[in-house]
Chains A and B, each alone.
Chain A
Amino acid sequence: MKTILIPMLFTLSVTAAAAQNQVATLRGAAPLDETERAPVIPKVVNSDIRQVRNYPEQPPVIPHKIDGYQIDTNYNQCLTCHARSAIDVSQAPMVSITHFMDREGQFLASVSPRRFFCTQCHVPQSEAAPKLDNTFVDVDQVLDYIQSHGGGNN
């Protein structure tokens, strides 16, 4: 009885949560025996305009398409433009110097292997509408809020 009850309770709570938040599951609202039409793949932002970071430590997002870019042990196509020695030609921002550091804090001559795979942190953006509203507040707004409420150093 217990073994059946737990998955049942779990399913019930998940369905309840989904109903509450009105979030569709990934497979959509179609009945189980039907397949819903796949949504159109949203376009990748290709404006080449640098975006604001939401917090200082945020890895900057990629403002262009990176379709088919090869990033493996043989070659890193991002570095074709973003390498230290390439930016005079490409006029692209250079890979941050922090990426040259190994884990002992020693600076290497080029990008450290642990920071080599760009897309682990840096990603392009798509024009997809978010499924949920985001309540994230920028740190400047937080400071403004604190100050306006008599907090901070004032």
Chain B
Amino acid sequence: MRGLISRIWWIMRRPATHLSLGFLTMGGFVMGVIFWGGFNTALELTNTEEFCVSCHEMRDNVFVELQPTVHYSNASGVRATCPDCHVPHAWTSKIARKMAASKEVYGKIFGTISTREKFLEKRLELAQHEWARFEANDSLECRNCHSAESMDITLQSKRASEAHERFLLTGEKTCISCHKGIAHELPDMGSARLRPDDDRVALKAYLESSD
């Protein structure tokens, strides 16, 4: 084994005796373009709605739920596809998300959500992961289209403009804090409240303090 490694090391260190420097540099450049382009093309292929809904888990559950919502059908015909909301657009963040998503391949192979029942049972956990991701990146994927700077709150309804002025423009909350369940159905949230997590945390702290 050690002999093999030192032999490879020797080959790698040895100057090329028959190939010209021009061939090696140009060849390296061309191969680099092919590999890099191929990598990115393959990456972009996995970043399409067709790819997402090629699995029945997505096609029969979340994609069906998306269709009646405003992010799929609306007056202007502008719509969001799966990766618009679920994959960051910047390259490094995208790669990080794609690496995290390799767990989904595991889930697919072992059929973690292969039936509707399994999916419904797991959907609160899955939703919470996504909400946590949006809270952590300040709803980056929402803001790729909905920028606070371009949002004219005077054109909004009274209710919406007040809420945005109070929570969005002050930075107190981020989009996902209030706009949960706008593109997919909400899982069983327990008793339906605006801030279920806050309430649970407060209750837990209270119960622990009274012990």
Question: Which of B68, B182, B186, B194 has the largest number of chain A CB atoms within 10 A?
Answer: B194
Q: Using a CB-CB cutoff of 8 Å, which residues 152-185 of chain B contact chain A? A: 157-159, 162-163, 178, 181-182, 185
Beyond known contacts A75-B189, A79-B193, A110-B191: 4 more, CB 8 A cutoff? A47-B158, A65-B157, A68-B70, A72-B185
Query: Which residue of chain B is the closest to A46 with respect to CB atoms?
Result: B157
State the CA gap A128–B24 with chains docked (Å).
Answer: 76
Chain B interface category by residue count: 20 to 34
Q: Tell me the minimal C-beta distance from A6 to chain B in angstroms.
A: 43
Residues of B within 8 A of A110 (CB): 191
Residues A74 and B158 in contact, CB atoms below 8 Å apart: no
State the CA gap A43–B123 with chains docked (Å).
Answer: 35
Cβ contact of B199, chosen from A73, A85, A91, cutoff 8 A:
A85
Residues of A within 8 A of B128 (CB): none
The 9 closest A-B pairs by CB, nearest first: A86-B194, A75-B186, A79-B192, A76-B192, A48-B158, A74-B188, A48-B159, A75-B189, A80-B194
Residues of B within 8 A of A68 (CB): 68-70, 182
Cβ contact of A64, chosen from B159, B182, B187, cutoff 8 A:
B159
Q: Using a CB-CB cutoff of 8 Å, which residues 55-105 of chain A contact chain B? A: 64-65, 67-68, 70, 72-77, 79-81, 83, 85-86, 89-91
Residues B186 and A83 in contact, CB atoms below 8 Å apart: no
Which A residues lie at the B interface, using CB under 8 A?
46-48, 64-65, 67-68, 70, 72-77, 79-81, 83, 85-86, 89-91, 110
Residues of A within 8 A of B189 (CB): 74-75
Residues A83 and B194 in contact, CB atoms below 8 Å apart: yes
Cβ contact of A89, chosen from B68, B70, B182, B194, cutoff 8 A:
B194
Residues of B within 8 A of A76 (CB): 192
B195 CB-CB contact with A under 8 Å: yes
Contacts A70-B185, A74-B188 hold; do A48 and B157 have CB atoms under 8 A apart? yes
Q: Tell me the minimal C-beta distance from B42 to chain A in angstroms.
A: 36
23 of the cross-chain contacts (CB-CB < 8 Å) are A46-B157, A47-B158, A64-B159, A68-B68, A68-B69, A68-B70, A70-B185, A70-B186, A72-B185, A74-B185, A74-B187, A74-B189, A75-B186, A77-B186, A79-B192, A80-B178, A80-B193, A81-B194, A83-B194, A86-B193, A86-B195, A89-B194, A89-B195
Contacts A68-B69, A74-B186 hold; do A83 and B159 have CB atoms under 8 A apart? no
Render B184-208 as a binary contact track against A, CB cut-off 8 A, 1 for contact: 0111110111110001000000000
